[in-house]
Each structure stands twice: as structure tokens, then as C-alpha cells.
Structure 1
Amino acid sequence: MAIGRLSVKVGKAGKASPHAAYIARLGQYEKRLEQGEKLEASEFGNMPKWAATNPLHLWEAADAYERKNGTTYREFEIALPREMNPAQRLELVRDFVGQEIGDRHAFQFAIHTPTAADGGEQPHAHVMFCERELDGIERDPEQFFKRYNSKNPERGGAKKANTGKDPATRRTELKELRGRWEIMCNEHLVRGGIDARIDMRSHAERGTGLAPEVKQLPS
């Protein structure tokens, strides 16, 4: 069975541009590639005009202008099946981004393939997206991250999704997100003629009687 894992993380002000450089393995993070790791793929999309050719411009603006106690990005960190080849993994990530983000948010993703503790590949994806919703209104970087104006949207910033949700709602949404990932990932495994499947349920939910395993990270 392939590994099923999907976590959701958020970044605070000052964290977006360094994290974008980290997942794209730019600058100081380029050294990671000298340690046997592969940057299997790196893409971005739905960027505002002023960040159309360089996604770091978006994340730098988020760090500079998003409210100090707000989030500058939301991220899906997803384990990918090692049974797939790189082209199959890229197609899977693209399809998942299209389903979950579509044309509503600016995004950037990268697929990393380090060596796992057992000596095999440990492919995984980092999918960053800006929670500010795209509404067709052109805003400069500073205005883009201002407070949304519901009566006159063109005078305020882009509306921010995922705000004001209680913990129970977020837990439910995360479980539903993992369920959608399981369905899509297994559909791609079937399409690729691969026997492996993922199961996002816990051992308790599956009634296996097993205890959770310790994560086997490359470090």
C-alpha cells in the first residue's frame, strides 16, 4: 500500500517568501540538491500581473502588506506514491491543484524526491496558495492585501478565504480534503495500471489494531 498523508499548514507574516524559496530550492536552499535530493517539478499559476513572471513577488508582498497577525499562505503537504513515475506524479498534483484551487487563488507548488530512511524514494508535494481570492479587479501589491471592502470591492483588498472558522469546522474540512485526495490519488493509480492504493483513514478507523508508526523522514 502506498503512503497516505496530507497535512495543512499556514504561514505568518515574514514566512511566505522564505518558504517559497525553500520549496523551489532557490538561494540558500539550492544546497539541498547537492545531498541527493531531486527537485522533480516546480510550477506556479494564477499570479497577479505584477507577479506573473516571478511568484516570489507575490510572497514578498504578502510578507510586507498582509496584516501582522494574519496568514500569508496556506499549504498542502502531501506524500506522493513512489510507485508512480515523475510524469504520473506531476499529472496527479496538477489535477489536485486544479480541483482544490482552480482559478480562485494564486499558487505555487513543488515536488521533492529525497531518499527515505529505507533507501527508496520519498516523493512529496508542497502546494502553497494565497488565501486572497481573485475577482478580476486589478490591484497593486499593497492594495491587494488590504482589508476587503464588500460595498466597493475595487476600493479594498482582495477578499480572504478561510477566515473566522472554528476548530471543529476546520477539522471536518481537513477530513473531507483528505478524502478527496484519497479518491483522486487512487483514480490516478488505477489509470497508471498500478496495484497500490492509499487509505487516509487512521489505524483506529480501519480497526487494524496497530499503533501509529513513527515518521521515517530523510533526516
Structure 2
Amino acid sequence: MAIYHLSAQIISRKSGRSSTAAAAYRAGVEITDQRTGEVHDYTRKRGIESADIVMPSGSTWSPTRVELWNTVEAKNKRADAQVAREFLVALPDELDAGQRRRLAVDFAQELADRYGIAADVAIHAPGKEGDQRNHHAHILTTTNRVEGDGFGNKVRELDLVAHNMGGGVGKANEIDRIRARWAELANERLREHGHEARIDHRTLEAQGIDREPTQHLGPTATAIERRTGQASRKRQDFDQDVAERLTQAKKAGELERLGQVLERSILDLSGDIEAAKNQRIQEQAAELHKRALERSEVEMGHRYARALENVTTETLATVPGLLPAQAIKRALHQVGKEVAEAGQVPDVDVIAVRRQVQAQPGMQQRLAHAAELEARGQAILAEIAGMAASSGSCTTLRG
């Protein structure tokens, strides 16, 4: 799987470095620094697949590697001079060795032509102990423009300090453009050779990918590990950073899980509260219904009582020929009819209320008195009937 990587760094005397040493290490050769007399011998270095010097297309100067970088050191006099700039790029594993070399050299040629600089392209194979897909190229460029058989002024377009001082803070700079161009060129070659893999120069966040970017040890840390056989300080820092990130991720995961549990608890509690509110509403409604029934029963009982009182005290005196039993039946029927027409609570047991009223001691006495009157009335009616019958017999005899 092709991955994107392009990083740029400055080779500066201020940090104790030189372009001659950097070039010798990357190309795996020996270079004597004519300015200091130091000999930088990396001829025993393994893993160098190719090393090419690239000059601007319009230049007639064809220096050797030794000549090129000693001329650079001679041009830059200051003790803190920035003598070279390196671009480190990851080469697609999908391409073969010849295709990777062509890609790296063509990219270096574009840099040389655009900025008028010289470039030293060294392609390194993956390390024996590392990822075997880690093909990469070190493109060491001059910080001065090529002029004749030497160098002229600095290339300010690639200087971040000059970019910011010129009002470019927060704006895309030339390094950003170079990063984008590398992705374009690599993808062109992948497409040209029939590979579907592509690389993207944008940040993982801009691509919508949720993971941490990969990290590289760099040449110094790698050399230390090869020489000592132990993990470099940079690798230890990486490992510690990874451990801290894992710990933070674990804590974040635990917090997320706790949050989910809390959210579920809140939802459950909300459901319990809602259920309790509904139950309370139902209980209140039942209580109100019960009270309404009680009030209806009391009111109905009072109406039955008044009806019975009227029947036993007034009806017999005001309605000639109406017997007590008939009067009571009519009165109770009238009360039931009025209750139905009034639309009172349908759950009221009218018969039970009527029985409760009739069972009261006062009502029992009144009903007993009505029964006595009923008995007297029946006796009187019987006597009248007897008298009527006797009278009829006498009339018949006379005839």
C-alpha cells in the first residue's frame, strides 16, 4: 500500500552539520571536506540503491559529488550558514526499482529547474529489521542558486522565515506546493504503471481519517541504533508517546463507556419518573372519580329520602285513591328517572343507594307506617266491596 511522506529539513553549521558529511552519508561514499579537512567515509554503508547528481536543465556545469558539496561549503562563510536543504520522500512499493529511481530523479529535476538549484538524489532500500516496503529517497539540495560553475544568491522562496516576514504567515508556502506536487507526480506514475493505489498529501484530519500519523526516526537516530544495537532516545520518546496515547485512549474509552452507562441510567430514570407521574395521575383520577361517586351517592340518597318522606307524609293526603305502596313505587321511579336525565356518574348503583336509604331506621318507621296505612286501605276497600255485594243481593230479591 503506497503511503505519503515528504519532510524537509535544513542542514546548518549552527547544529554542527555540513553538506559534505550529509552527502557522503546519503550516497554511501567518501568525501573530504576541503574547508575543515575532515574525511567523511561512509563507503561501508549498505542499502544504497542509487545516487544521482541533478543540475538545472539550462546549466552547463557537471560537477562531481565531491566538487559540488565542497563548492557549497566554500560559498557559505558564516558559522551559522544553512548549507543544504533535504527532502525525504517515501517511494511507492508498488513501483519497481527502476520506476522508483525515475520518479525520484524526475521530482529532483523539477525542483532544480523551478528554483535553479542542484540536487543529490540517493535512494535507500528498506532496512533489514524494518518494514520491507520502506523504499525512500534523500534529495539533498543546495540553498544557493547555480550560477556558471558555482553558486549565487540564496533561494528565498523556500525560506520559511523570509516567507513569514514577507506577510505570508498563515498562507501556503513553497514547501506546501512541493508537498502537493510530490503527491501528483507519484500518483501519475502509479496510474501510468497500472496501479490503483494513490497517495494524498493532505493531513489525516483533512482526509477524514481518524488515526495518528506515522513517525520516522531520521538518519541520526537510525545510525545510533545500528551502531549500538539499542533503541535510540528518539525511539524511546516515540514509545513513551505511544504508551501515553494508549493510556489516554483507554481512559477516553472508559469515560465514553461511563458516559453511555450514565446516559442509559438517565433514560431509565426518566422512564421511571414518567411512569411514576402517569401512575400518580391515574391514582389522582381514581380518587377524584371515587369522590364524585360518593358525592353522587350521597346526593341521590338525599333525593330518595326526600321522596320517601314526601310519600309517607303528603302523598296520601293529596292524591285521593293512591295507595302507599303505589305512591312509594311511583316516587322511587321518578327519582331514578331524574337521575338518569341529569347524566350523573354512570357507575353509581341506583338500586343499592335506594336500598341503603330504605334501610335507615327513620325510613323503616315511615315505611312501616305506610304499610299500616296500606293494610287499613286494603281493609276499607274490602269492606266497601262487601257492602257493594250485599246491596246488589238485596236489589235482586226485591225484583
TM-score band (shorter)?
0.7 to 0.9
TM-score between the two structures when normalised by the length of structure 2: 0.44
Unmatched 5+ stretches in structure 1: 145-157
Alignment of 1:40 with 2:40, yes or no, is no
Unmatched 5+ stretches in structure 2: 31-40, 226-399
Tell me which moved more, 20-29 or 110-119: 110-119
Whole-Å separation in 1 of the counterparts to 2:110 and 2:139:
13
Contact 1:82 1:122 in 2 (8 A): yes
TM-score between the two structures when normalised by the length of structure 1: 0.77
Alignment of 1:105 with 2:110, yes or no, is no
Residue in 1 that maps onto 2:163: 165
| Secondary structure in structure 2 of the residue aligned to 1:159 | strand
Residue in 2 that maps onto 1:127: 139
More strand by share: 1
Q: Deviations over 1:164-206 (max 9, x none)?
A: 2328378632222111110110000000111211112222111
Residue in 2 that maps onto 1:16: 19
Contact 2:54 2:108 in 1 (8 A): no
The answer to which structure, 1 or 2, has the higher relative contact order (CA under 8 A, 6+ apart) is 1
Q: CA RMSD in A?
A: 2.7
Whole-Å separation in 2 of the counterparts to 1:12 and 1:170:
25
From the superposition, tell whether residues 71 and 214 of structure 1 become closer, same or farther in structure 2 (CA, over 3 Å). closer
Q: Name the aligned partner's letter for residue 24 of structure 1.
A: A
Whole-Å separation in 2 of the counterparts to 1:57 and 1:118:
34
Tell me which moved more, 108-117 or 12-21: 108-117
Q: Name the aligned partner's letter for residue 11 of structure 2.
A: G
From the superposition, tell whether residues 194 and 43 of structure 1 become closer, same or farther in structure 2 (CA, over 3 Å). same
Between Structure 1 and Structure 2, how many residues are aligned?
196
Task: Report the alpha carbon displacement of residue 9 of structure 1 after superposing the two structures with TM.
Answer: 1.1
Residue in 2 that maps onto 1:60: 70
| Secondary structure in structure 2 of the residue aligned to 1:98 | helix
From the superposition, tell whether residues 97 and 116 of structure 1 become closer, same or farther in structure 2 (CA, over 3 Å). same
| Secondary structure in structure 1 of the residue aligned to 2:44 | helix
Q: Name the aligned partner's letter for residue 187 of structure 2.
A: N
Following superposition of structure 1 onto structure 2, how do residues 1-219 of structure 1 map, counting pairs within 5 Å? 1-13=1-13, 14-27=17-30, 28-33=41-46, 37=47, 39-46=48-55, 52-66=62-76, 67-102=78-113, 104-115=116-127, 119-136=131-148, 138=149, 144=151, 158-162=152-156, 163=159, 164-166=162-164, 168=169, 172-215=173-216
Contact 1:59 1:72 in 2 (8 A): no
More helix by share: 2
Q: In percent, how many aligned pairs have the same letter?
A: 27
The structure number with the bigger radius of gyration is 2
